[in-house]
């Protein structure tokens, strides 16, 4: 078949692509390609929308998880504090009894024994919760555990060792919560 240009279209592909010979095929091909492009664009748009919605849901889930974690942490803290307070109430009650007893007796020794008993009970509760007094005297000064309040010239103790505790330090579950305030030896024989 010859097109308007006078050129003969020999193969089926030439006829399908020729505007003169196969014009209907060209427009059909173009329509088909356009619909494929439209389908691809629509598919991509719907996939983008789906991913955006999924991202929004995941953000909301994460925010809910964060809020729930904060709430659970606060509830755990309150529960832990409640258990300790119940034990501390026993100490409180025993101190009240010791004070009442001290008002009614002249026996100082029994009052001291009562207060010592309550003090041991108090220390026991704190230790059970993980509190530990930092051992200092005779130990080498450690800035992670101690805070130097004074230096004393002495030959009785090694240089930079703790000779006295002004205020005890404490660790809670192996974390220093208060440094021990100490006096440190400056031994002139070792300098």
The pLDDT of residue 68 is 96
The pLDDT of residue 57 is 96
Please state the pTM of the whole predicted model: 0.58
Fold that domain 132-191 belongs to in CATH: Nucleotide Exchange Factor Grpe; Chain A, domain 2 (2.30.22)
Backbone angles phi, psi at 92, to 5 degrees: -60, -50
The pLDDT of residue 26 is 45
List the chain domain ranges. Answer: 132-191
191 residues of the chain, pLDDT tens digit each: 444 455 566 665 565 555 555 544 444 444 455 566 677 778 888 999 999 999 999 999 999 999 999 999 998 988 888 888 999 999 999 999 988 888 888 888 988 998 999 999 999 999 999 999 999 999 999 999 999 999 999 888 899 999 999 999 999 999 999 999 999 999 887 76
The pLDDT of residue 92 is 94
């Amino acid at each position: 078949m010859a097109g308007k240009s006078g050129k003969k279209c020999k193969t089926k592909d030439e006829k399908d692509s020729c505007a003169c010979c196969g014009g209907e095929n060209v427009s059909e091909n173009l329509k088909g390609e356009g619909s494929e492009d439209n389908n691809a664009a629509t598919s991509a748009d719907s996939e983008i929308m789906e991913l955006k919605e999924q991202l929004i849901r995941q953000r909301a889930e994460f925010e809910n998880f964060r809020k729930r974690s904060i709430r659970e942490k606060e509830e755990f803290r309150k529960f832990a504090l409640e258990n300790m307070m119940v034990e501390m109430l026993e100490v409180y009650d025993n101190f009240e009894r010791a004070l009442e007893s001290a008002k009614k007796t002249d026996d100082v020794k029994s009052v001291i024994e009562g207060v010592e008993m309550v003090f041991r009970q108090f220390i026991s509760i704190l230790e059970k919760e993980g509190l530990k007094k930092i051992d200092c005297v005779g130990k080498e000064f450690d800035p992670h555990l101690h805070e130097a309040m004074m230096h004393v010239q002495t030959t009785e103790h090694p240089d930079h060792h703790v000779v006295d505790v002004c205020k005890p330090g404490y660790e809670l579950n192996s974390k220093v919560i208060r440094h021990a305030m100490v006096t440190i030896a400056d031994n002139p024989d070792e300098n």
